[in-house]
């Protein structure tokens, strides 16, 4: 479609309107996700363009859609149902089915309650991402001044289409991606790029939606709208970002291995039972119970409980957790991507250095800069000048009076003041970019060899009002966004915890280098090109990156097998915050960043992050202890049942005892969620092979004991078959309690005391099971001497197993 037909009195230039192919592309390729650079290829004069007609704009609006983020979303019911699909739900659903088939209605009811509790918790936490998307959309709901039908009018920004001519001025949010065709602007685009300083925009420069016009006014043609524009793409990235849960992957792998092991044993049990004269039908309930014993039914509530207790601890330390699994994910985090502005720095310009010319004092240079500044303008640079003057106790000279002031103009890139001395002499002071001082009257020789280091440097010059009078350089002012005082120490603490620090900022390479040097990060900085090419492993500093670049950087590292954390505070950080395993929004973050993150630091800086890592590593060890305990007991019980049938030609315990064993062991070990543990000094990583090898060794030691005790009960103590089964059941419970004490501590088991909850659970379990085994309640009773002897024997073996495990579990 051509827009020429919709113009009134098109000028000659408009006969070859460069916006036609752009609009045609919008119509033919609505999924365009190309770069955000300016698409202007020819200069346009808005004076010859009377705007789109209402009819043409309406047709374009029907084809390209409104200037709003329009993304398909599943219903709330669909999102809730998805919580019943995944490794942990599958585990609980399988356990429920098996218990129901066995006729165990109470056990089945308990499991289904656990399933719904975990589903509702996950559903509630997931709504945080939807809040981030809603906040992003709200930022696009602004008004815009657009030229339509030859007149300027104000419309809702949702009605903008590519090709519209829009007028923007100081205080406006840029309503869509635009190309500036007239005017000079000072634009704050830190919400998208992270740049600490506003940037100057001149004709043919691109303006990004969501940017704030700090100064100036001008006109621009709309290039992209809705989800294609800068803010829209950020919203879509937040919508599409997904956080991986390594914990669920590990659980599924472990459960799959245990079920496969039990199925193999069940296959072996059938011919053994048939050989002993049992019918296949009588084995089915036994095999089903064996499979149920392999499913860690108490793991989901243990996981939730461990993370909830740690979240409460962290909240008292100024770290708010919005996604519980992020705590355990923090334990395995290896890379931390840090935003610069507002995270590592104060997000506040300061006058870093005064460099006066020969013969000029710092006080004279500062006074001259103040004379050419206006505190009421609230310009960040000028505010920094007055802040430094206040800190030094410097006031404007009482012998001089400012007569007039020409505020900063993006077109001339300077501020100029006329000052009158007490003797009536007048002169001018010019403050601006060093590069334009020659045009203002500073001799070229005075500009040669200037040290222009610093994130931004401006020059100050002074001269007579006489025509063509040269200006004398008074000196340079260097500004920067300073590091937070605690940032170097915090970064070093994180390094000591084994975290690799990477800086990812939308600021210039010069600004990134200043911070990188202070934090001892490897240079030179890498660009977005390195991210696109996947060459990021050796890069520690990324400069000039856009929100989608940070998002892709997280993804690239994840594909390399790295566990990634991301810190940030702005809209530009939101997609990466949500995509990372651990997204950390720092203090004073935007609402969008907070909603996308899984942790929020209340205090400024990254001080609370080290404590979050330490707490996460404690949670990791608690969950690993539970998992290891479950694997050991599953292997021990399964092998004991098989070995008993093979060696003694009988069932060493019955199905009722196995179910009782599941509840006495699994639910008592939930107290591991609050146990006293130490955190590791390096990132943790689930090593399933090593975990299984360690479990097999420990299970073999316990298996040797349980088989020996059963043999002694039959051959030496001459116990009845029922009493032998009670002895086997009692021994399995005791070895389960001993195993908890062995695996809970990486060093000798006496290095740390068990928590009060764990101690009470162990003694309570021992008391209840001893009562059951010593009385005629559910079990065939055993003499007290046998029970005490078994306790002594298992206690001694526990010390032996603890010595053996030391070769695998390093302190």
In a domain, 652, yes or no: yes
Closest C-alpha to 637, from 300, 256, 274, 291: 291
Domain match, 474 and 487 both: no
- Phi, psi for residue 181 in degrees, rounded to 5: -115, -15
- Phi, psi for residue 477 in degrees, rounded to 5: -115, 130
d(CA 763, CA 741): 12
**Angle 640-104-261 from CA coordinates, rounded to 5°:** 35
CA distances from 741 to 625, 626, 737, 749, 767 (A): 10, 11, 7, 6, 17
d(CA 364, CA 705): 88
Handedness of CA 515, 517, 521, 522 (dihedral sign): positive
Domain match, 667 and 753 both: yes
In a domain, 705, yes or no: yes
Token pair for residue 671? 């107290």
Which residues are 103's β-sheet partners? none
In the structure, what pLDDT confidence band is assigned to residue 761 with cuts at 50, 70 and 90?
Answer: very high
Contacts of the segment 757-764: beta carbons below 8 A, 24+ positions apart: 757/671, 757/674, 757/675, 758/671, 758/672, 758/674, 758/675, 760/671, 761/668, 761/669, 761/670, 761/671, 762/668, 762/737, 764/668
In a domain, 500, yes or no: yes
Token pair for residue 255? 């459960």
In a domain, 413, yes or no: yes
Neighbours of 678 (CB within 10 A): 15
Please, are residues 170 and 155 in contact by the beta-carbon 8 Å criterion? no
Out of 478, 507, 525, a domain closes at 478
Domain match, 630 and 554 both: no
Peptide bond into 58 cis (omega under 30): no
Residue 454 pLDDT exceeds 60: no
In a domain, 706, yes or no: yes
The larger pLDDT score, comparing residue 657 to residue 411, is at 657
Average pLDDT over residues 638-655: 83
| Average pLDDT, rounded, for the chain | 80
DSSP 275-335: HTT--HHHHHHHHHHHHHHHS-TTHHHHHHHHHHHHHHHHHHTTEEESSTHHHHHHHH--E
Give the pLDDT score at 755.
92
In a domain, 177, yes or no: yes
In a domain, 595, yes or no: yes
- CATH code, domain with 364: 3.40.1110.10
Out of 424, 450, 478, a domain closes at 478
Give the pLDDT score at 19.
40
Print the domain residue range for 20.
4-70+141-235
Domain match, 151 and 32 both: yes
Give the pairing of strands 400-409 and 350-356: unpaired
Domain match, 327 and 281 both: no
- Spatial neighbors of 186 by CB under 8 A, at least 6 apart, are 198, 199, 200, 201, 213, 214, 215, 216, 408, 410
Give the 3-state DSSP-derived string for 432-495, with helices as H, strands as E and coil as C. Answer: ECHHHHHHHCCCHHHHCCCCCCCCEEEEEEEEECCCCCCEEEEEEEEEECCECCCHHHHHHHHH
Residue 801 pLDDT exceeds 90: yes
Give the pLDDT score at 407.
81
Average pLDDT over residues 251-269: 76
Inter-axis angle of helices 280-294 and 87-101, nearest 10: 150
Domain match, 60 and 158 both: yes
DSSP 655-679: HHHHHHHHHHHHTGGGGGGG-----
Domain match, 217 and 335 both: no
d(CA 304, CA 281): 39
Residue 13 pLDDT exceeds 70: no
d(CA 435, CA 438): 7
Token pair for residue 553? 């950087």
Which range (56-70, 157-171, 197-211, 239-253) has the least confidence?
239-253
Residue 707 pLDDT exceeds 60: yes
* Cα atoms in the 13 Å half-sphere on the side-chain side of 173: 17
Average pLDDT over residues 626-648: 86
Give the pLDDT score at 809.
57
Coil, helix or strand at residue 719: coil
Instruction: Please tell me which of 58-72, 74-88, 766-780 the model is most confident about, judged by mean pLDDT.
Output: 766-780
d(CA 680, CA 494): 13
Inter-axis angle of helices 721-743 and 688-715, nearest 10: 150
Neighbours of 681 (CB within 10 A): 10
Prediction pTM value: 0.73
Give the pLDDT score at 244.
64
Average pLDDT over residues 37-58: 63
Which range (87-101, 418-432, 619-633) has the least confidence?
87-101
Closest C-alpha to 353, from 449, 431, 454: 454
- CATH code, domain with 27: 2.70.150.10
Domain match, 538 and 620 both: no
The larger pLDDT score, comparing residue 142 to residue 151, is at 151
Closest C-alpha to 283, from 293, 294, 291, 273: 273
Number of domains in the chain: 4
Residue 4 pLDDT exceeds 70: no
In the structure, what pLDDT confidence band is assigned to residue 43 with cuts at 50, 70 and 90?
Answer: very low
Residue 769 pLDDT exceeds 70: yes
The larger pLDDT score, comparing residue 469 to residue 633, is at 633
In a domain, 98, yes or no: no
DSSP 56-77: HHHHHHHHH--SS-------HH
Please write the tens of the pLDDT for every residue from 488-547.
999 999 999 999 999 998 887 877 888 899 899 998 899 888 998 888 999 999 998 887
Average pLDDT over residues 596-601: 88
Chain centroid to Cα 448, Å, comes to 47
d(CA 365, CA 363): 5
Domain match, 222 and 251 both: no
Average pLDDT over residues 284-290: 70
Please write the tens of the pLDDT for every residue from 309-347.
888 899 888 898 888 788 888 999 999 999 888 788 887
DSSP 46: G
Out of 443, 478, 513, a domain closes at 478
Domain match, 305 and 408 both: no
Give the pLDDT score at 337.
95
Domain match, 699 and 787 both: yes
Give the pLDDT score at 591.
67
Closest C-alpha to 436, from 463, 410, 405: 410
Give the pLDDT score at 325.
82
Which residues are 462's β-sheet partners? 429, 472
Please, are residues 730 and 778 in contact by the beta-carbon 8 Å criterion? no
Domain match, 323 and 303 both: no
In the structure, what pLDDT confidence band is assigned to residue 582 with cuts at 50, 70 and 90?
Answer: very high
Give the pLDDT score at 811.
46
């Amino acid at each position: 479609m051509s827009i020429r037909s919709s113009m009134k009195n098109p000028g000659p230039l408009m006969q070859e309107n460069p916006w036609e192919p752009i609009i045609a592309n919008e119509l033919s390729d609505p999924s365009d996700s190309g770069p955000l650079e300016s698409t202007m290829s020819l200069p346009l004069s808005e004076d010859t363009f009377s705007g789109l007609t209402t009819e043409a704009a309406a047709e374009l609006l029907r084809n390209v859609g409104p200037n709003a983020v329009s993304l398909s979303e599943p219903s709330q019911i669909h999102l809730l149902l998805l919580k019943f699909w995944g490794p942990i739900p599958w585990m609980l659903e399988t356990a429920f089915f098996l218990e129901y088939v066995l006729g165990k209605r109470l056990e089945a009811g308990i499991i289904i309650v656990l399933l719904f509790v975990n589903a509702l918790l996950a559903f509630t936490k997931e709504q945080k991402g939807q809040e981030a998307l809603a906040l992003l959309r709200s930022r696009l709901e602004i008004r815009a001044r657009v030229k339509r039908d030859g007149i300027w009018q104000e419309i809702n920004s949702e009605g903008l289409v590519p090709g519209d001519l829009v007028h923007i001025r100081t205080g406006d949010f840029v309503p869509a991606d635009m190309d500036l065709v007239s005017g000079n602007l000072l634009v704050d685009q830190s919400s998208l790029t992270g740049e600490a300083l506003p940037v100057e925009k001149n004709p043919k420069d691109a303006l990004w939606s969501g940017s704030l016009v700090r100064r100036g006014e001008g006109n621009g043609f709309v290039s992209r709208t809705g989800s294609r524009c800068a803010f829209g793409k950020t919203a879509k990235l937040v919508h599409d970002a997904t956080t991986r849960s390594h914990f669920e992957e590990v659980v599924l792998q472990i459960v799959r291995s245990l079920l496969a092991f039990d199925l193999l044993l069940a296959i072996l049990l059938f011919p053994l039972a048939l050989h002993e004269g049992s019918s296949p039908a009588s084995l089915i309930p036994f095999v089903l119970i064996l499979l149920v014993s392999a499913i860690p039914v108490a793991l989901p509530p243990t996981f939730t409980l461990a993370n909830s207790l740690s979240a409460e601890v962290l909240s008292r330390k100024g770290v708010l957790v919005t996604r519980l699994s992020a705590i355990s994910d923090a334990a395995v985090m290896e890379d931390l991507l840090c935003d610069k502005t507002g995270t590592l720095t104060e997000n506040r310009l300061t006058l870093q250095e005064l460099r006066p010319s020969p013969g000029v004092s710092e006080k004279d240079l500062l006074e001259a800069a103040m004379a050419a500044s206006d505190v009421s303008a609230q310009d960040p640079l000028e505010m920094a000048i007055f802040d430094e003057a206040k800190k030094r106790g410097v006031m404007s000279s009482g012998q001089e009076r400012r007569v007039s002031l020409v505020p900063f103009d993006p077109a001339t890139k300077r501020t100029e003041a006329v000052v009158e001395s007490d003797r009536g002499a007048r002169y001018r002071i010019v403050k601006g970019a060093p590069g334009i001082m020659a045009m203002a009257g500073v001799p070229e020789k005075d500009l040669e060899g200037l040290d222009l280091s610093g994130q931004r440097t401006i020059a100050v010059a002074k001269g007579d009002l006489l025509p063509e009078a040269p200006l004398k350089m008074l000196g340079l002012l260097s500004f920067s966004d300073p590091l937070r005082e605690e940032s170097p120490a915090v970064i070093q603490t994180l390094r000591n915890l084994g975290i690799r620090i990477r800086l990812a900022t939308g600021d210039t390479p010069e600004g990134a280098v200043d911070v990188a040097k202070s934090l001892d990060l490897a240079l030179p900085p890498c660009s977005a090109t390195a991210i696109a090419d996947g060459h990021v492993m050796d890069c520690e500093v990324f400069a000039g990156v856009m929100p989608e670049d940070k998002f892709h950087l997280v993804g690239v590292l994840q594909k390399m097998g790295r566990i990634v954390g991301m810190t940030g505070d702005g809209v530009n950080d939101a997609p990466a915050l949500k995509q990372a395993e651990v997204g950390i929004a720092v203090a004073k973050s935007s609402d969008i960043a907070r909603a996308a993150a899984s942790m929020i630091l209340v205090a400024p800086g990254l001080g609370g992050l080290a404590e979050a890592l330490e707490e996460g590593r404690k949670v990791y060890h608690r969950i690993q202890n539970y998992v290891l305990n479950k694997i050991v007991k599953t292997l021990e019980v399964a092998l004991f049942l098989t070995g008993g049938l093979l060696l003694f030609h009988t069932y060493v315990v019955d199905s009722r005892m196995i179910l009782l064993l599941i509840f006495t062991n699994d639910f008592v070990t939930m107290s591991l969620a609050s146990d006293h543990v130490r955190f590791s000094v390096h990132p943790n990583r689930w090593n399933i092979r090593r975990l299984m090898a360690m479990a097999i060794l420990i299970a073999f030691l316990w298996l040797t004991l349980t088989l020996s005790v059963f043999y002694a009960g039959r051959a030496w103590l001459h116990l009845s078959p029922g009493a032998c089964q009670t002895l086997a059941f009692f021994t399995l419970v005791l070895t389960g309690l001993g195993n908890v004490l062995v695996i809970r501590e990486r060093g000798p088991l006496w290095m740390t005391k068990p928590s009060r909850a764990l101690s009470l659970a162990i003694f309570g379990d021992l008391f209840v099971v001893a009562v059951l085994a010593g009385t005629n309640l559910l079990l065939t009773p055993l003499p007290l001497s046998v029970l005490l002897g078994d306790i002594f024997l298992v206690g001694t073996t526990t010390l032996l197993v603890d010595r053996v495990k030391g070769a695998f579990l390093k302190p």
